[in-house]
Amino acid sequence: MKDSVFEIQLKVRDYECDIQGVVNNAVYQSYLEHARHEYLLSKSQSFKELTAQGILLMVARIEMDFKRPLSSTDVFAVQLRTERQGVKLVFFQEIIRISDQALCLKAKVDVIAKVGDKLSRGEVFDALDI
């Protein structure tokens, strides 16, 4: 992703693969979420601490386009960039296999926020600088 603002590298673990020997489709969401949480930490924000403060960041919608499979021991990067769209913070994420730079997955994740018991109009994302 040419305009990514954050990247984390991970390695596929054997138990994440299905009987076909590739990463199970549901596992990719965990990779994406882990990258978003690490991104928050890189911006001096903790998902756990935000939750304790009554700021709930929630996935409203996720789209994933599977391009190529990952398999056991593959090392890969999860890259992301963000964009404010009204009340949402949109994460554009890609998973790239390191060995051949193959694009394995593209995702678009819409995140909304509740502050206290009210849906935020998105200003919380600006205040948190994320």
The model's pLDDT over 75-124, given as tens digits with 9 standing for 90+, comes to 999 999 999 999 999 999 999 999 999 999 999 999 999 999 899 999 99
Task: State the pLDDT at residue 2.
Answer: 84
Residue 1 has pLDDT above 90, yes or no: no
Task: State the pLDDT at residue 24.
Answer: 97
Residues designated as active site: 18
The model's pLDDT over 17-35, given as tens digits with 9 standing for 90+, comes to 999 999 999 999 999 999 9
Q: What does the H/E/C string look like for 18-81?
A: CCCCEECCCHHHHHHHHHHHHHHHHCCCCHHHHHHCCEEEEEEEEEEEECCCCECCCEEEEEEE
Q: Which of 89, 75, 84 is nearest to 31 (CA)?
A: 75
Task: State the pLDDT at residue 78.
Answer: 98
Task: State the pLDDT at residue 119.
Answer: 94
Task: State the pLDDT at residue 101.
Answer: 98
